Each structure stands twice: as C-alpha cells, then as structure tokens.
Chain A
Amino acid sequence: MSKSSSKRASAAQDRLELIQSRVIVERDSVSSISSSDFPFHTSNRYSNIDFLEKIRKKLRVSIEKKSQYDMEFDLIGVDASIANALRRIMIAEVPTLAIEKVFVYDNTSIVQDEVLAHRLGLIPIKANPDEFDFKLSTEHPTDQNTIVFKLKQECKRNPKTAANETDPKKLYLNHNALIWEPKGDQADRFKDSQIRPVHQDILVAQMRPGQKIELEAHCEKGCGKEHAKWSPVATASYRLMPEIILKEEITGDLAIKFASCFTPGVVEVKDENVDGKTIEVAKVVNPRIDMVSREVLRHKEFEDKLELNLREF
C-alpha cells in the first residue's frame, strides 16, 4: 500500500469513528444524529464480542451536583435510547402517593370544591410508596392502600396584631392545615417516618374571616402517566455532552470574540507568556454548560479552527 493511500485509509477510519460516536454540529446542519452503534452498520464491528460485556466495561456514572431536591449526573457508555427510557420512567412510571379523593363537608370559601380538590391533589405527599398497594377502583380503602388527611380550618382574625398590620400571616390564624390521620396499623408502621406534605407552606386557599373549610382527603398510589400529580420529579431531562475541539490556538482580540460566541463560562481568555510577551489565549474550560448556539460557526475567521460535536455515549 502506498503512503498516501494508507493515510487516506486512516483518515477514513477517523471519520468513521467520529460518525459512530458523535453528533456533528456544522454551520448549516447537524449530521450523524441517529445512533449507528450496532453490528453491520459499517463492518463486522464486534460480532465476536459479547455486547453486554462491552457495555459493562464502558459504563460509568459520575455525579456532578447533588442537593436535597436537585441532582445532575453523567451517564457514560450507553445510548441515548437508554438514557431517554430512564428519563421517561422517572416522569411517568415511578409511583408516588397523591390525594385522589376529597370529601368536602363544609366549604364556605371562595374556592369551589372541585378547584380545591384539584389543588389538594397537586400537593406532594411525603410517604414511602413501597409501603402501599395500588388501590383498584373495585377495592375499598384500607390501611394498605390509602392515607387519610383531615383539613378543618376557619379563618379568624388575630386579635393581638397591631391596628395598622398588613401582613396576612400575622393578621389571621390558619396554618399547617393538612393533618394526617393514621388508620389501622399506620401509626405503628410509620412511627419513624411521619407522613406529611413535603412542603408545609403550600397555599391551598385564601380565606376571609368567618369562612370555613372542612374536608377529608384520601391519598392513593399512582403513576405519572395517569396524572402528573403522581410524577415524583418536577422535571427530568438529559442532553448530550457538548465537545469543543480547538484545532489551533486562538489568540489576541480574536480570543475575546471567540469566548463571547459561547455561553458565559464555557471559554475563558487566559494570559500566557510566550517569548517574554504576554498574549491572550482562548481556552475551553467548561463545555458542559454550553447551549450549542452555533454562533461561533457564523464567523468566517473561526471556520477551520474548531470542531463542534455532541458526544453520543
């Protein structure tokens, strides 16, 4: 094989690997979008290698951020179809408990019964769904499939406030309205993990002095695909990791222009000492937060200086 043809072959091999592992972002198009990670797509890639064994070696999870209600992690080594399945399962198929039936005994507030019932349904309930059964429509409520909350409130003026007080929290007395009423063996089963609304300060209804609400609310187990109130997540999403490859150094005023093409924080301009002179050099520091606006590809001066990809797995 001649030198040039082997060079061409290796360039073709590089291109093939790029297509198989990246979504390629270009000025006027986005190519190589669908996954080509399967046998015989190009050649007999791994017919002798066990697929699961291959995935096991590559699979990695790294947690980037975590707080009480938030989490961000990288899932490396699987296709988007698996990541999307996980996302959809979190939104629609992970069961939780939510108020499903409301028995209104008294409601003289301005909020209609059905609106009130809907608002109650959306309140997240802190209870372990594993401890409960799904309640079939033919079944009666039991301590195994239902949690009962009572709400009995009358809006009253607080006589101890100053005459010129305007803050409704000080003016009126009615807070923490949803009270859990244990049924059967629930008081014993959940003595270590009190059942309650996740947030105690969710506004259910605004009332005027003299108005009353008295009701009983039954929580049932369900899934997000039936009603969003059962969805355990506020939202769950995934995106492909952006990849910005600089083919050559970008310096001086161009570096500042280059940095301004990306989401702030993606590219930083750093001072570097070259031959006793200080020059500004653009460095890609955090491609994760880039929104892939493709602004940089609009400018001719950057045309051959970078490659913009999204990592497929």
Chain B
Amino acid sequence: MDDTDDNSNIGDELSDSDVEVNDILNFHTEKGAIKDPQSVTFNITGEDHTLGNALRYMIIQNPEVEYCGYSIPHPSEDKLNIRIQTTENTTAVDALRKGLEDLKALCAKVTEIFYKANKDFDEINNLS
C-alpha cells in the first residue's frame, strides 16, 4: 500500500459494482488506517447509531472478524467510525461489504415475514 495514500477514498480500490454502496454511505477511511488491509477504521458521514450498532452486530457474526466496534466521535459531528480487524483470510473492506450485504438480506427477510404476519393477522381477524 502506498504510504502517501493515507486518506484515500475507499472507492478507488473497489470495482464498479460497489459504486452504489459507496455513493449512498459516503464513507472514507480514517487517516493512516489503510496501511494494513486487515485493520481499518471506516468513517461514514450522515449515519448514526441506527446503522452503527446494527452493522457492528452483523459484522461480528463473521467468524473471520476478530474485532469490530463503532463510535460517534462527537455528537455535534454527523460522523460514524467503524473499526474492523480481521484474520489473514479476508480484508476489512470485504468484512464491511459482507456486513452490509447481510444486513440488507436480514432486513429483507424481516420485511417479508412482517408483511406475511400482518396479512395473516388481518385474515384471522377479518380486517382488510
């Protein structure tokens, strides 16, 4: 990794398919954190505990992740830091991507089951 490249946008090393996620979350890595691909702190602007805690929970479910934690460095700043450290088998970027995809899949599943339960409830109670 290039030593001078210490505040690069993560989008530089992602393929085209990642642009969408990168656009939505608008994240970049913290200064100096990119040198080791297994331990990275990501900084996401415009997100808070809503995403932070849920994403942290999804990322630690990955057995290749050794550490994952999040923080809001200052309440007046609209910023979220997520620290990920992984084993040699993967990289922090991949772990983050898997976390986001798992979270998306989980939310889709919750939505599906919720609508089904709602429909069943309406049918049983003769609501429309």
Q: Residues of A with Cβ closer than 8 Å to B?
A: 35, 38-40, 44, 47, 51-52, 55-56, 59-63, 66, 73, 75, 78-79, 81-82, 84-86, 88-89, 92-93
Indicate whether A82 sits within 8 Å of B106 (C-beta atoms), given known contacts A35-B57, A38-B61.
Answer: yes
Docked-complex contact A63 and B117, CB < 8 angstroms:
yes
Docked-complex contact B110 and A63, CB < 8 angstroms:
no
What distance in Å separates the Cβ of B77 from its nearest Cβ neighbour in chain A? 15
What distance in Å separates the Cβ of A52 from its nearest Cβ neighbour in chain B? 6
Report the bound CA distance from A75 to B109 in whole Å. 12
Further 14 A-B residue pairs, CB within 8 A, beyond A52-B102, A81-B56: A35-B57, A39-B60, A39-B61, A39-B62, A39-B63, A51-B62, A55-B106, A55-B109, A66-B118, A82-B110, A84-B53, A85-B54, A89-B50, A92-B50
Indicate whether A51 sits within 8 Å of B102 (C-beta atoms), given known contacts A85-B50, A85-B53, A89-B50.
Answer: yes
- Sorting the interface of chain B by its residue count into under 10, 10 to 19, 20 to 34 or 35 or more gives 20 to 34
Docked-complex contact B51 and A85, CB < 8 angstroms:
yes
What distance in Å separates the Cβ of B28 from its nearest Cβ neighbour in chain A? 22
The residue from A40, A73, A86 contacting B117, defined by CB atoms under 8 A apart: A73
A-B contact count (CB 8 A): 67
What distance in Å separates the Cβ of A238 from its nearest Cβ neighbour in chain B? 13
What distance in Å separates the Cβ of A15 from its nearest Cβ neighbour in chain B? 22
Within 8 Å CB of A92, what residues of B? 50
Q: List 27 A-B contacts (CB under 8 A).
A: A38-B57, A39-B62, A39-B63, A51-B61, A51-B62, A51-B102, A52-B102, A52-B105, A52-B109, A55-B109, A56-B109, A59-B110, A59-B113, A60-B113, A61-B110, A61-B114, A63-B121, A66-B125, A66-B127, A73-B114, A78-B106, A81-B56, A84-B49, A84-B54, A85-B51, A85-B54, A88-B50
